[in-house]
């Protein structure tokens, strides 16, 4: 036992001694290798100051000009300043220590010498002042190069040259050539900002700036975004990483080094992204996911998508849509997106084998056949439980990737859900009870509606009104489809005011109803009036003697506007005063619409395939939505295609513009938030009610009106009908 204790004590002592020796060794400074990187100038007279740069330099060596030692004026580990000795000879410049000699380069004794220049860094086009001697020459002008690139010489004296930094010079020595003699000075640090990434973002976006001539120390670089100072996070000679500052605005990014500013590309401020939908909301590995929204980057790598904290690479990217492939194994959690460090939180995702990718059609009425596409369905139809807003539907057939179901009789708008065993999957969007039903009339019904039916309006109770140019009447159609003459005397034209039964009208061009159920009627003929009908049924002349009365329409505040064909658009104030809003042609076959900001969208000519716009300030902007050629194409308003001649416009409850594109048998939606034109409903020619994919309309549409619940009423003239579009 005693031997064991003695052994352990000896072992501990040896380890302790070893550690002490190691500590002593670690306390010794690490030797810096001796090396010379550059020197300047490489010529001059005796007494010229020469700077030598490198590492491991010290006063323990001496600098030799040939065989003459130079006086050392200043020194540290990275630089030496010496004075060229008297009686020195042109030749080698060396650094000599006790045990080695390092060749620095050659030094030429001559009158030409570049002593220095200022500034020592900057970008192309700036001027530098080169000081020295021997620059003056009567034989030929002095020449200057920077990094071997010829620079434009602005002025020369014997001791001073002013020159411009050439394009793409790069960093390198400043050289002066006079009468065949050359002198090289210090290296000029060329500054440039070649790129920034990303080019868009907001406060806090991390931006990588690429270029050259930056300072390797963070504190040596001052970066601003359109004048706002930014925080520098990383720095090297060719790359900076910075953070877009608070209050950032669109404009150029600039880098300042040693008080020299270099302007780079512009950074564009964009709002944070938004998520409109994520498809699917559940699913297995390998299934495609689509995210729709706004303000995404068109560069896939600038959109960081995470599911439950797991980053999923983006496959394709547009400003409004991202696609990716589900990796599986993410677990259940939120779908989040960071676009250039601007973040938005999306819906919950379920990592499971059951998922819904497409519902077609996405709207319908009771009895509509709906195809649900996805993954993980049971091939036994009865094992898939499908509900629409909680009401179970009939599953007609099933495969692993597709279900065909019939919507229930008590269909209402709401969430579509598929259950299989313990798994449950939601559709990406709600299923809307939407489709087309005929409220009144139809082919062969003897309906009063004909090509002389000019306008349609709907009140707050769901009553629909149809005006007729040919018989001077306005008919009322109740929500259950019953019709009667509401006001005007059949085939009696006049301008008599009074009760609904007493009043007579001229040739009625259009009608519109405000939020308080007041109706405004424009009539042409000898009077060209605007008549007003109150909810109590009293008819009066609201404005008389217009040059031409076309389509009457209202803004959000209920103020009255009217088209005047070749005379433009007029605003009619409540006191009877009028204000010219637009002075050129405005078609009266398509009712204009005013959005919530006061912009007026109108058809300039009956056959134009685009809408024009009058902003609140005046002066029309032509071809605002659509192009000069007709066609059918969704997309940004400037590239979207509409058919020739449009039959009506109105605002939906969210403030977006709906356009009846008659020759494409469709309702096109212009979303003011993102400037995109999409198709809300695409029908075909003919007459048929049903879901939007089954509906048929004629090209003879006499106008649109929107009910309080958001339903759209269509005056389908050629089908002699009033059709109702359920949107929810």
Considering the domain architecture, whether residues 441 and 527 belong to the same structural domain is answered as yes
Specify if 693 maps to a domain: yes
Query: How many percent of the chain have pLDDT more than 90?
Result: 81
Average predicted confidence (pLDDT) for the chain = 91
Considering the domain architecture, whether residues 527 and 653 belong to the same structural domain is answered as yes
- Structure letter (DSSP) for residue 140: S
466: pLDDT strictly greater than 80? yes
Domain boundary among 269, 293, 315: 269
pLDDT band at 673 (very low <50, low <70, confident <90, very high): confident
CA gap 115, 189 in Å, rounded? 16
Considering the domain architecture, whether residues 186 and 197 belong to the same structural domain is answered as no
- Identify the residue whose tokens are 């919507």: 407
Q: What is the pLDDT of residue 7?
A: 39
Considering the domain architecture, whether residues 459 and 514 belong to the same structural domain is answered as yes
Considering the domain architecture, whether residues 626 and 704 belong to the same structural domain is answered as yes
C-beta of residue 389 within 8 angstroms of C-beta of residue 728: no
Specify if 615 maps to a domain: yes
pLDDT band at 45 (very low <50, low <70, confident <90, very high): very high
SS3 track for 406-433: ECCCCCCCECEEEEECCEEEECCCCEEE
- Identify the residue whose tokens are 């619409």: 593
CATH code for the domain in which residue 103 is found: 2.60.40.10
Q: What is the pLDDT of residue 483?
A: 96
What residues form DSSP beta bridges with 374? 356
> Which domain covers residue 258, as residue numbers?
192-269
CB-based contacts of 333: which residues, under 8 Å, 6+ apart? 307, 308, 309, 348, 349
Domain count, the chain: 7
- Structure letter (DSSP) for residue 31: P
Closest by CA position to 509, among listed 556, 560, 456: 456
Q: What is the pLDDT of residue 100?
A: 87
Distances (CA, A) of 691 to 393, 577, 669, 703: 16, 47, 18, 21
Considering the domain architecture, whether residues 314 and 255 belong to the same structural domain is answered as no
The per-residue pLDDT for range 73-102, each reduced to its tens digit, is 988 888 999 999 998 889 999 999 888 889
Considering the domain architecture, whether residues 510 and 566 belong to the same structural domain is answered as yes
Q: What is the pLDDT of residue 674?
A: 87
Distances (CA, A) of 177 to 43, 149, 171, 311, 349: 12, 13, 19, 59, 71
The per-residue pLDDT for range 598-655, each reduced to its tens digit, is 999 999 999 999 999 999 876 667 779 999 999 999 999 989 999 998 999 999 988 9
Specify if 356 maps to a domain: no
Considering the domain architecture, whether residues 247 and 101 belong to the same structural domain is answered as no
- Tell me the whole-structure pTM to 2 decimals: 0.68
Specify if 321 maps to a domain: yes
Q: What is the pLDDT of residue 362?
A: 86
698: pLDDT strictly greater than 60? yes
Number of neighbouring beta carbons within 10 Å of residue 63: 26
Q: What is the pLDDT of residue 23?
A: 44
Pull the structure tokens for residue 345: 């939180």
Distances (CA, A) of 613 to 2, 35, 187, 363, 544: 105, 72, 59, 32, 27
SS3 track for 344-381: EEEEEEEECCCEEEEEECCEECCCCEEEEEEECCCCCH
CB-based contacts of 435: which residues, under 8 Å, 6+ apart? 363, 364, 365, 368, 689, 690, 691, 692, 694, 695, 725, 726
Q: Averaged over 541-563, what is the pLDDT?
A: 93
Q: Averaged over 684-710, what is the pLDDT?
A: 92
Q: What is the pLDDT of residue 27?
A: 52
Considering the domain architecture, whether residues 458 and 324 belong to the same structural domain is answered as no
Give pairs for 222-225: CB < 8 Å, separation 24+: 222/255, 222/256, 222/257, 223/253, 223/254, 223/255, 223/256, 224/253, 224/254, 224/256, 225/249, 225/251, 225/253, 225/267
CA gap 475, 480 in Å, rounded? 14
723: pLDDT strictly greater than 80? yes
The per-residue pLDDT for range 474-511, each reduced to its tens digit, is 999 999 999 999 999 999 999 999 999 999 999 999 99
Specify if 357 maps to a domain: no
728: pLDDT strictly greater than 80? no
Of the listed ranges 34-48, 51-65, 458-472, 554-568, the least confidently predicted one is 51-65
pLDDT band at 60 (very low <50, low <70, confident <90, very high): confident
317: pLDDT strictly greater than 80? yes
Considering the domain architecture, whether residues 512 and 648 belong to the same structural domain is answered as yes
Q: Averaged over 252-266, what is the pLDDT?
A: 96
Specify if 564 maps to a domain: yes
Cis peptide before 280 (omega within 30 of 0): yes
Query: How many percent of the chain have pLDDT more than 70?
Result: 95
């Amino acid at each position: 036992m005693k031997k064991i204790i003695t052994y352990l004590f000896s072992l501990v002592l040896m380890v302790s001694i070893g550690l002490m020796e190691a500590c002593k060794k670690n306390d010794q400074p690490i030797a810096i290798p001796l090396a010379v990187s550059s020197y300047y100038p490489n010529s001059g007279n005796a007494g010229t100051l020469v700077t030598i740069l490198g590492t491991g330099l010290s006063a323990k060596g001496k600098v030799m000009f040939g065989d003459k030692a130079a006086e050392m004026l200043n020194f540290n580990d990275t630089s030496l300043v010496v004075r060229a000795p008297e009686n020195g000879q042109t030749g080698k410049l060396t650094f000599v220590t006790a045990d080695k000699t390092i060749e620095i380069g050659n030094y030429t004794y001559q009158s030409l010498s570049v002593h220095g220049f200022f500034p020592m860094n900057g970008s192309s086009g700036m001027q530098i002042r080169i000081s020295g001697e021997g620059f003056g020459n009567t034989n030929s002008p002095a020449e200057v190069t920077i990094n071997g690139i010829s620079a434009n010489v602005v002025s020369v004296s014997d001791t001073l040259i002013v020159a411009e930094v050439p394009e793409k010079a790069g960093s390198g020595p400043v050289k002066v050539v006079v009468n065949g003699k050359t002198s090289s000075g210090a290296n000029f640090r060329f500054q440039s900002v070649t790129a920034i990434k990303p080019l868009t973002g907001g406060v806090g976006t991390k931006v990588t700036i690429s270029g050259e001539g930056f300072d390797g120390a963070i504190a040596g670089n001052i970066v601003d975004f359109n004048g706002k100072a930014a925080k520098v996070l990383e720095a090297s000679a060719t790359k900076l990483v910075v953070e877009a500052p608070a209050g950032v605005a669109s404009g150029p990014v600039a880098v300042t080094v040693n008080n020299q500013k270099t302007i780079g590309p512009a950074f564009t401020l964009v709002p944070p992204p938004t998520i409109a939908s994520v498809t699917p909301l559940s699913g297995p590995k390998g299934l495609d996911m689509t995210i729709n929204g706004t303000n995404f980057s068109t560069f896939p790598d600038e959109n960081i998508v995470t599911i439950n904290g797991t980053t999923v690479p983006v496959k394709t990217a547009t400003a409004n849509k991202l696609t990716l492939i589900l990796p599986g194994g993410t677990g259940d959690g939120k779908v989040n997106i960071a676009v250039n460090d601007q973040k938005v939180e999306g819906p919950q995702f379920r990592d499971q084998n059951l998922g819904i990718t497409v519902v077609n059609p996405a709207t319908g009425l009771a009895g509509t056949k709906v195809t649900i596409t996805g993954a993980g369905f049971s091939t036994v139809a009865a094992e898939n439980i499908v509900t629409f807003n909680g009401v179970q539907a009939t599953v007609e057939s099933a495969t692993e990737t597709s279900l065909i179901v019939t919507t229930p009789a008590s269909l209402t708008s709401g969430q579509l859900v598929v259950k299989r065993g313990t798994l449950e999957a939601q559709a990406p969007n709600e299923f809307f009870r939407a489709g087309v039903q005929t409220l009144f009339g139809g082919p062969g019904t003897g309906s009063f509606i004909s090509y002389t039916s000019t306008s349609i309006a709907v009140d707050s109770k769901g009553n629909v009104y149809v005006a007729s140019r040919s018989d001077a009447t306005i008919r009322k159609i109740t929500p259950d489809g019953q019709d009667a003459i509401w006001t005007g005397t059949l085939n009696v034209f006049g301008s008599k005011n009074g009760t609904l039964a007493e009043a007579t009208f001229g040739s009625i061009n259009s009608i519109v109803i405000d939020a308080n159920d007041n109706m405004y009627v424009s009539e042409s003929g000898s009077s060209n009036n605007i008549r007003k009908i109150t909810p109590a049924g009293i008819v009066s002349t609201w404005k008389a003697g217009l040059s031409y009365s076309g389509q009457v329409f209202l803004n959000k505040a209920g103020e009255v506007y009217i088209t005047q064909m070749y005379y433009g658009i007029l605003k009619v104030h409540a006191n009877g005063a009028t204000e010219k809003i637009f002075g050129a042609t405005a078609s009266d076959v398509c009712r204009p619409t005013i959005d919530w900001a006061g912009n007026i969208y109108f058809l300039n000519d009956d056959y134009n395939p685009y809408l024009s716009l009058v902003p609140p300030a005046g002066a029309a902007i032509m071809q605002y939505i659509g192009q000069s050629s007709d066609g059918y194409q969704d997309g940004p308003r400037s590239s979207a295609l509409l058919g020739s001649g449009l039959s009506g416009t109105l605002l939906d409850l969210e403030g977006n513009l709906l356009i009846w594109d008659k020759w494409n048998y469709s309702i096109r939606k212009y979303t003011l938030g993102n400037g995109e034109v999409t198709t809300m409903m695409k029908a075909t020619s003919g007459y048929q009610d049903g879901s939007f994919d089954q509906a048929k309309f004629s090209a003879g549409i006499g106008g649109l009106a929107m009910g309080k619940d958001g339903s759209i009423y269509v005056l389908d003239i050629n089908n002699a009908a009033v059709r109702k579009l359920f949107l929810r």
